[in-house]
Chain A
Amino acid sequence: MNRDRRKVYRIVIAALVGGLVVSTLVAAITGAAGLSVREAFAALLALFRDGAGAAGSFPEWAPRLLLDVRLPRIALALIGGAALATAGTSFQGAFRNPLADPYLLGVSAGAGLGATIAIVWKPLESLGIYGLPLLAFIGAALAAFLVYRLATFGGRTGTASLLLSGVAVGSTLTAIMSFLMVATERDLHTVIVWLMGGLGAASWMKVWITLPVVVGAFVFTWLNARRMNLLLMGEERARELGVDSQRTRRNLIIVASLTTAAAVSFTGLIGFIGLMVPHIMRLLVGPDHRRLLPASALFGAVLLLVADTVARSVLAPAEIPVGIITAVSGGPFFLYLLRTRRGL
């Protein structure tokens, strides 16, 4: 029933918002430095009262910890998760394939190469702590741009061409990156850890940089939701129905690639969210992008937050790279898909 779908949607959104609140609370009290719920709240309150608060109701370092370390990390996780999920939804719509992911167009390879160069090439250290994200972003954006240009013939960019181009550019960039990694053994560890994804160096500045980008990208994509629905019938049919298919698809891909690049440059390569989240949400709220996009963004945010919380608390004080947690959940997910689809 269409009515049923609307009802399910409302329930899902409510559940996700609830999940968001709960996971934020849990993330706030979990970590290498343990806090109870009461302490966390007291500490938060103290922040608003500028440090004053019943002494002893929270450890002295708690307000600082929450404000400077945990909250930005939580925010970055939410933003990054939403970004990847939205980009994944865009890609799955643009390619009419529920198995597409945001790294298709060489974005991950480009980001990885950029980051590796930033880590390995000593002269770049003068760029400071924003050098790495900057280079990762440039790398990702350039890669996506290159892939897109290579796949465009006479104004038309076909799906198959894009995929081929993505593989070609991606594998070339990965090869260069691997070579660089091998050639400088010293920094190998740093590169590998970055590649596996991590939110350890979260800061409010990073949040302020990524937040407008991700919000803007989400809004842009959501406004194109109806067109994305029509695109699912194929470029030709969508054009017959009045959608400027080539332009819409191109814009969606560009925005999604840049969003992914922005997220990835600060968080490293976190896989599976862009792929799994839209896929799962489609099963719950249906393929209509007007519902799918907000649901996916919310779920992606919650998922990454939960994964990150697990990543930094299971083996505290050591941190498991977040990408490993998401990959671990990705495996069973694909198995489940395989079995339920009966090899379709």
Chain B
Amino acid sequence: MTALTFAARGLEVALAGRHVLGPLDLDVPRGSFIGILGPNGSGKTTLLRALAGTVDICAGTVLLEGEPLEQYSTAALAKARGVVPQTFSLDFSFTLGEMVAMGRYARDESYFPSARAGRLRSRRTKTSRPHGHEATDHPSVAAALEHTGLSDLADRLVTQLSGGERQRALIAQTLAQDTPTLLLDEPLNNLDLNHQLEVMQLLVRLQAEGRTLLVVLHDLNMAAQYCDRLLVLGDGRIMAQGGPSEILDPALVMDLFRVRVSVHREGRRPYVTPLWSRAAASLADSPRTGVHVMAGGGAARGLIEELVLQGLAPTVGIVSVFDTDFATGRQYELDVISSPPFEPFSAEAVRELRAATAAAAVVVIAPIFFGQGNLELLRVAAAAQAEGKKILIIDSPPIHERDASGGLAGDMLRELLESGATPFSSAAQAVEWLRYSSL
């Protein structure tokens, strides 16, 4: 049985008379990297604090490295685990280096307040290194600064740091504590994406060193990318726990977060993208609002996603079954008119197309690569226009860059425009127009 860093049984926490967490059971194996997720108010921070020993537990037990948490002295606790809270306040003019060095208190090297810098013999390495009077000279401090990219700012006053720098400073301070376990509460707040990635990669490296990490995160994708276990809280209870692949399931996400997402499993780890801004039970219930998208060669992917995001379910076609636009359409469970590849469109497909455009009120032409094979699309579009359907044309990239039909496609598109089609330079704009036009 693997050693457990944390073992909680029946853990319950009440704050100001209100029950906020538990009862819950939790095992955190040593060396694991756990992401704690959940909506606001679900008890994530409280759970972290309960495990860290900084908030009183009203029922249940928590074991840290096999010992009950209550039996740890403040000092022993500080050697066993490090906590990175969401924020800090230090209104005094310490330098960043001094602040980070404060993390060394529990380990404590510097004994005398201001001895002259001497040399400390290290038994282990049998070399002597400068042992300054400040803990700031300790290698852990320099390492912590480097890991958080703050080495150049070591002499800056903490009162002059930006929000992101403050966040990283807090992390560095806890890193300097050099603990086998780390608990971090939303450490990515206020950070630009590159710093967010740096921090997460740093955490992975720390895990590789054998440390146990628990991180409260807001970003589901970020958690899935880096953590090996996810814990989802809701209303103070554990709603789900498991690996990223298990947790990132559309039905589960819907249950937990009330958001419709699409799960992508191409990469090393799955990630999700939201489907629409308002929850809908299934695509089948959404209104068929009469939009048809002419797609092909992946040119309509963005358009289709935009439409789906807006809650519109277009019909798509005609595309070959190997076409990525086909896959996109199927992914969103749309009606896609397909035709066998390497052939001109089948008669059946064209019939379906005409039916679809007849049923639709608007036809949107994506910036497809036109060749002899799909000119039929434009003919059908012209016919639809004659019947009074509105035609939207996305003309970026410009047609002459994607016209392999000897100029015919360009002529036909121009005719459509002259007859009342509206051009847009991006899918987003087209969809925007659609939203505000009465449909």
Contacts and interface: CB of A to CB of B under 8 A. Distances in A.
Contact of A233 (B54, B79, B89): B89
A327 interface: no
Contact of B88 (A5, A225, A234, A288): A234
Interface stretch (A133-141, A241-249, A264-272): A241-249
Interface in A183-239: 222, 225-227, 229-230, 232-234, 236-237, 239
A328 to B, nearest CB: 29
B90 A240 contact: no
Interface stretch (B92-100, B287-295, B345-353, B363-371): B92-100
Given A287-B93, A288-B98, A291-B114, A241 B105 contact: yes
Contacts of B154: 2
Interface stretch (B70-78, B374-382, B400-408): B70-78
A241 B98 contact: no
B136 A2 contact: yes
Interface residues of B, number: 35
Q: Which of B85, B106, B114 has the most CB of A within 10 A?
A: B114
Contacts of A237: 85, 88
Interface residues of chain A: helix, strand, loop or mixed (majority): helix
Contacts of A244: 73-75
Given A287-B93, A287-B94, A290-B113, A226 B105 contact: yes
Given A2-B155, A242-B74, A96 B105 contact: no
A241 B103 contact: yes
A182 interface: no
Contacts of B114: 6, 9, 290-291
A286 interface: yes
B252 interface: no
Contacts of A129: none
Contacts of A242: 74-75, 77-79, 105-106
Nearest to A240: B83
Contact of B105 (A243, A287, A288): A243
A54 interface: no
A160 interface: no
A240 B103 CA distance: 9
Interface string B29-72: 00000000000000000000000101000000000000000000
A2 B102 contact: no
A1 interface: yes
Interface in B169-187: 173, 177
Q: Which of A225, A244, A288 has the most CB of B within 10 A?
A: A288
A288 B94 contact: yes
Interface in A1-28: 1-2, 5-6, 9
Nearest to A293: B113
A91 to B, nearest CB: 15
A160 to B, nearest CB: 16
A286 B99 CA distance: 13
Contact of B52 (A9, A233, A240): A240
Q: Which of A1, A241, A243 has the most CB of B within 10 A?
A: A241
A150 B83 CA distance: 33
A287 B92 contact: yes
Contacts of B133: 6
B74 A2 contact: no
Contacts of A226: 105
Contacts of A1: 155
B78 A240 contact: yes
B231 to A, nearest CB: 21
Nearest to B107: A242
B192 interface: no
A252 B85 CA distance: 26
A205 to B, nearest CB: 33
B89 A239 contact: no
A229 B88 contact: no
Contacts of B75: 242, 244
A282 to B, nearest CB: 8
A236 B53 CA distance: 11
B155 A241 contact: no
Nearest to A245: B74
A337 to B, nearest CB: 15
A234 B136 CA distance: 21
B154 to A, nearest CB: 8
B91 interface: yes
B235 interface: no
Nearest to A242: B78
B249 interface: no
Contacts of B323: none
Contacts of A291: 113-114
B365 to A, nearest CB: 60
Contacts of A222: 113
A240 B85 CA distance: 9
Contacts of A232: 90, 92, 94
Interface in A284-328: 286-288, 290-291
A244 B83 CA distance: 16
Contacts of A6: 114, 133
Q: Which of A233, A234, A287 has the most CB of B within 10 A?
A: A233
B134 interface: yes
Given A242-B78, A286-B94, A2 B134 contact: yes
A116 to B, nearest CB: 38
Q: Which of A98, A225, A240, A244 has the most CB of B within 10 A?
A: A240
5 contacts: A2-B154, A96-B91, A236-B54, A240-B52, A242-B79
Given A2-B136, A2-B154, 8 more contacts: A2-B155, A233-B102, A234-B88, A237-B85, A241-B173, A287-B94, A290-B113, A291-B113
Interface of B: 52, 54, 73-75, 77-79, 82-83, 85, 88-95, 97-99, 102-103, 105-106, 113-114, 133-134, 136, 154-155, 173, 177
The 10 A-B pairs of least Cβ separation, nearest first, read A242-B78, A242-B106, A287-B92, A290-B113, A240-B83, A244-B74, A242-B75, A233-B90, A241-B105, A242-B105
